[in-house]
Structure 1
Amino acid sequence: MSTLPQKESRASTACPGPASTQDLGSSCDNGPERECSRKPDQKLYAVGDASAIFSSGSSYLSSRGSIIKWFWDSAQEGYRTYHMDKYDEDKNPSGIINLGTSENKLCFDLLSRRLSQSDMLQIEPSLLQYADWRGHQFLREELAKFLSFYCKSPAPLKPENVVVLNGSTSLFSALATVLCEAGEAFLIPTPYYGAITEHVYVYGKVRLVYVYLDSKVTGPDTRPFQLTVEKLEIALQGAHSEGVKVKGLILINPQNPLGDIYSPGELQEYLEFAKRHKLHVVMDEVYMLSVFEESAAYSSVLGLERLPDPQRTHVMWSTSKDFGMSGVRFGTLYTENQDVAVAVATLCCYHGLSGLVQYQLAQLLRDHDWINQVYLPENHARLKAAHTYVSKELRALRIPFLNRGAGFFIWADLRKYLSKGTFEEEMLLWRRFLDNKVLLSSGKAFECIEPGWFRFIFADNAHQLRLGMQRVRQVLEGKSQVAEDPPSSQTQEPSSQPR
């Protein structure tokens, strides 16, 4: 749960206003009004500095190796603890319920049936031999068709612009390494998926410049944690004033952990900003098919009529989130810049995907009938039911949250449980949850500027959601104990989910 040290950054005297109320930003009710929480010296941006993590490392490791080990020792504490004490209904009923890791565990039944069909089992010599490091041609062709269809691209996307790697983690590392010199940086709006800090630093020693967003709603057309070009400009100029060269902008759409979906107009503004400053844009669209509310319209950057700077726009997608297959370790890059594609493909000799898995993925992605008629409708229905359940539980506790219809997470405001409103209190609350055998992700792990925000993952089966939320309630009501199986009368069970 640790985060990187930061340099001091530009101050602001603006007040973020109340945290708003339940269902923050759209439909609001029942939330506690709060006094202004932004201090006069609160920062609008910060530059992450991994080199300042520690004063001495292991005598057996290089300084780089010591930093890599630090990420494991500190940043992944909760995840490691969970894996040593996983909940199991029969073998370990007092184990940890994981509401902290963003995985979709709702559709194993659908996936196992499809992946067990006979068309998935073909083996031929080429699948067991070295292939083009970009990925097998048949998979890149299917990915180009798949992305053309689901991203609604105005023209067919090209297989030669597709590169295949073993997951988005490798993609972030590869792109950071080939786009930036050591010590250079990407802009990234906060809160954001915090592991990106590690992904871009471990290989390339690339830094992040945090563009701090807060929960203030300033008018009828604004929302909590809203990204604007003005905020990007302030962070960019601030980084330059500190001697940090910024080479790109990382955007996650739909956003993790907020669940926000950028409109086509917003995307165009961010891309125009990047073009003005000759910045690369890395678009992470791994949740693009996990928009479960019909009213939440999603637009891929690949669906825009015109990209302001196509040579500096690079799009990532994987099956980890949208298809609940994070263990398969597959990710893809789409870029029109052949220099970038070749450089990333060269690193695929370290991050390649087996031929057998590539074949199965191609078979899966070409089956539009199954995807459109079976998987997506049922996945969306299950996500919506699970989201509805956790939302009702949070409302019952009078906890404000962002009510979005995308992703697997709810961004919830637990600031009323922090008497002084500090990150130290936030960490203590996080540990109280973990001690009561429920893993959540705290706001500091996402570089949130406001202490007290937590991410709740809801894409899990009904029994574990019910038990996890009971354990959350116990902590917040000061009745911490390890519950093994709550009586069904105490809490409503989500419907339409597999057990």
Structure 2
Amino acid sequence: MLTGALAAVRQGAPTPATTPNDSPVSHLAHRSASLCTTNAPSASSSLSRPLSEAPATQAASTAESPKTTPPTSSQACKTAQHVLATLRLGETPGCSAYLSKRGNSIRQHQGILQEGYTQYHADRHHDTDNPDGIINMGTSENKLCYDLLHKRLTQPDMLDIDPSLLQYPDWKGHKFLREEVASFLSHYCASQNPLKADNVNAILIPTPFYGVITEDVHLYSEVKLFHVPLDCEATGKDSRPFHLTVAKLEEGLRRAKQEGLIIRAVILVNPHNPLAEIYTPKEMIAFLEFAKRHELHAIVDEVYMLTVFDESATFHSVLSMDSLPDPQRTHVMWGISKDFAMAGLRVGILYTENRDLVEALDQLGSFHGVPGPTQHQVARLLQDRDWVNEFLPENRRRLKTAHNYLTGELQSMGVPYLHRPAAFYVWADLRKVLRPKPSFAEELSLWRRFLRHKVVVSCGQAFSCSTPGWFRIVFTDQQQHLQLGQFRVCTYWGKHDPRTGQRGEQEDGNTRSQVG
């Protein structure tokens, strides 16, 4: 959800987080950018909240058709009644006389994966209470660092609640948090300068992408998404699977105009979800120059900024660049749910230099403000640099260990995957398992078979992937849970053909262990 502007001062020492009383924002803050916080319900806009990930969902037909590629235009946002009947196993709610047309549309909407997550929450695995329950390898949340977080979050300074925190706040966010976020991002983004704290016809977005964006921008604000499909195969010497280029963005923009759409923005996710791709500074500058050339807003999601676990890879934030091609149209999202492994703490940040946008967002802050005690805890956490500098390397070490375990298992099973150095998941290629030929109906059938074997993963059509057979598998869980989940997958993989239920064929010896 678009939320109130959270301004952070551009220069000067940050106000200590232990002093929650808000003095008037200084003249520097009036020149500042927006840092938007949100405490949002599930049907909210990812354009302003890089928050913990709900089940990745995408409204798309599950019925098999001759064309297996999902629509690339804004029509992908519409869900037909027969699709809803399929997803709800034949039970589609009728229209309510008490709701508007838009209200009924929201009530009747269900994403592809919701069926699985409903079953998961009713039958969650527990080591002792429910050992046969469902293992969740589909939701992108980090369960590796609870011990570190529990120790820090239960220290006395986290419980020091000033009376002002229990009263109506400045909806932009308390000044002490705005300043602390600005200080934190200035340091960890390696910013060259200290950071300062209308509906469009359509938004350009490369596919695959984090599936909930569709629900967020369409259900909440009725914004349309125009897809730019990325090829799952390398197409040339300097290409790689799912390679985003300026040429593909230009082609997508051209097709959108042919359909009569006016594109006003482009969404860029870096590190990427679900690919875990990291774009280089050169690539990001090229994308931002494309946006400037066509007067598009560039919405940059950097919510996985600090999850790069491979020492040979480096992430460069847009905020670290000396200058941006079009700073007034460049807006950066960040949050603590991924980098600090706290998906349940609902705080997201939007940074922008555009004061007009800051003022517009400020009008919506009262609807989605973050509770004062939560702001206090986040500010204290970010302010404790000694703890942060211990937590981040240990988190990366645990991410790498878990990633190595999962990818090792995939290699032993002969499953190709994208080998990428960031985030919480692996993008795996199961096209060979879809029989008689890859289709989105077969992909959904395989996903449901995994679910019946008590493992939740995420299928590619939930991310608007243009090629059926790709799955996102999350590895950020305790190893005993990953082992149990992989055992269940391997048991099914070795004994059953995904289509017929008969004993499956062995994979050929030429299967690549990595893709790209």
With normalisation by structure 2, the TM-score equals 0.79
Please list the CA deviations of residues 284-317 of structure 1 after superposition, one character each: whole Å capped at 9, or x if unmatched: 1010000000111101111111111111111110
Corresponding residue to 1:54 among 46, 57, 81 = 81
Alpha-carbon shift at residue 72 of structure 1 (Å): 4.0
Q: Does residue 1:279 correspond to 2:292, yes or no?
A: no
Structure 2, gaps ≥5 residues long: 1-55, 83-93, 498-516
Q: Distance in 2 between matches of 1:413 and 1:51?
A: 27
Q: Write the mapping of 1:304-343 to structure 2, written as runs, cut at 5 A.
A: 304-343=321-360
Q: CA deviation at 1:5?
A: 5.3
Q: Deviations over 1:334-385 (max 9, x none)?
A: 011111112222222111111111011001011111111x201110111000
Distance 1:41 1:364 in 2: 47
Q: The residue matched to 2:275 in structure 1 has which SS?
A: coil
Q: Does 1:140 align with 2:178?
A: yes
One-letter amino acid of the structure 2 residue matched with residue 124 of structure 1: D
Q: 2:394 aligns with which of 359, 378, 396?
A: 378
Equivalent positions of 1:14-163 (< 5 A) are 45-51=72-78, 53-54=80-81, 57-72=95-110, 76-159=114-197
Q: Which residue of 2 aligns with 1:400?
A: 416
Deviation at 1:201, TM superposition (A): 1.2
Q: What is the alpha-carbon distance in structure 1 between the residues aligned to residue 256 and residue 421 of structure 2?
A: 34
Q: What's the secondary structure of 2:491's corresponding residue?
A: helix
In the alignment, does 2:382 pair up with 1:365? yes
Aligned to 1:134, the other structure's residue is in SS state: coil
Partner of 2:261: 244
- Kept in 1: contact 2:57–2:211 (CA 8 A): no
Counterparts of 1:394-473 in structure 2 under 5 Å? 394-419=410-435, 420-473=437-490
Matched to 2:127, the amino acid is E
Q: Provide closer, same or farther for how the CA distance between residues 421 and 49 of structure 1 changes in structure 2, counting only shifts above 3 A.
A: closer
For the pair 1:293 / 2:310, whether they are aligned, the reply is yes
Change (3 A) 1:416 1:41: closer
CA contact (8 A) 1:215 1:225 kept: yes
8 Å CA contact retained: 2:57, 2:215: no
Structure 1 position 45, deviation (Å): 3.8
Whole-Å separation in 2 of the counterparts to 1:369 and 1:398: 43
Match of 1:180 among 194, 199, 209: 199
Secondary structure, in 3 states, of the residue corresponding to 1:203?
helix
Change (3 A) 1:65 1:43: closer
Contact 2:459 / 2:472 at 8 angstroms: preserved in 1? Answer: yes
Q: Measure how far apart 1:64 and its partner are.
A: 1.4
| Alpha-carbon distance in structure 2 between the residues aligned to 1:478 and 1:71 | 36
Q: 1:231 to 1:44 in 2, by over 3 A?
A: farther
What's the counterpart of residue 477 of structure 1?
Answer: 494
Encode CA deviations 1:74-103: one digit per residue, 9 max, x unaligned: 552222221111001111111100000000
- Aligned partners of 2:68 and 2:96: how far apart in 1? 37
Q: Is residue 138–residue 472 contact of structure 2 (8 Å, CA) maintained in 1?
A: yes
Identity %: 52
Question: What amino acid maps onto 1:99 in structure 2?
Answer: M
Which shows bigger deviation, 298-307 or 210-219? 210-219
Distance 2:454 2:71 in 1: 35
Question: Could you tell me whether the CA contact under 8 Å between 1:320 and 1:330 is conserved in 2?
Answer: yes
TM-superposition CA deviations, 1:238-297 (whole Å, max 9, x none): 111111121101111100010100100000000000011111111110100000001111
Segment drifting more, 238-247 vs 205-214: 238-247
Moved more, 337-346 or 380-389: 337-346
Residue type of the alignment partner of 1:3: Q
Give 2:208's match in structure 1, choosing from 191, 195, 209: 191
Q: Distance in 1 between the 2:304 and 2:402 partners? A: 17
CA RMSD of aligned residues (A): 2.1
TM-score (normalizing by structure 1): 0.82
- What is the Cα deviation at residue 477 of structure 1? 1.7
- Alignment CA distance shift 1:111-1:48 (3 Å): farther
Is contact 1:397-1:473 (8 Å) kept? yes
> Contact (CA 8 Å) 1:180, 1:247: kept in 2 or not?
no
Q: CA deviation at 1:59?
A: 3.7
- Could you tell which deviates more after superposition, 212-221 or 255-264? 212-221
CA deviation digits over 1:421-456, x for unaligned, max 9? 111110110000000000000010011111100001
Q: Report Cα offsets for 1:391-450 as digits up to 9, x if no partner.
A: 010000110000111000000000110121111110110000000000000010011111
State the match for 2:89 in structure 1: none
CA deviation profile, 1:146-198 (whole Å, cap 9, x unmatched)? 11111111100012xxxxxxxxxxxxxxxxxxx424xx111111111000001
Please list the CA deviations of residues 194-231 of structure 1 after superposition, one character each: whole Å capped at 9, or x if unmatched. 00001111221001111100122123422110101111
- Per the TM alignment, residue 318 of structure 1 is displaced from its structure 2 partner at its CA by 0.5
Give the unaligned 5+ runs of structure 1. 7-38, 160-178, 481-499
Summarize the Cα distance change of 1:427–1:405 in structure 2 as closer, same or farther, 3 Å threshold. same
CA contact under 8 A between 2:246 and 2:290: conserved in structure 1? yes
The offset of 1:46, in angstroms, is: 2.8
For 1:194-209, list aligned pairs within 5 A. Answer: 194-209=211-226
Q: Distance in 2 between matches of 1:437 and 1:99?
A: 10
In 2, the alpha carbon distance for the partners of 1:133 and 1:321 equals 24
CA contact (8 A) 1:410 1:455 kept: yes
State the alpha-carbon separation in 2 of the partners of residues 110 and 99 from structure 1: 22
Alignment correspondent of 1:18? none
Aligned length: 427
Distance 1:44 1:263, change over 3 A: farther
The residue identity in structure 1 corresponding to 2:187 is F
Higher relative contact order (CA 8 A, sep 6+): 2
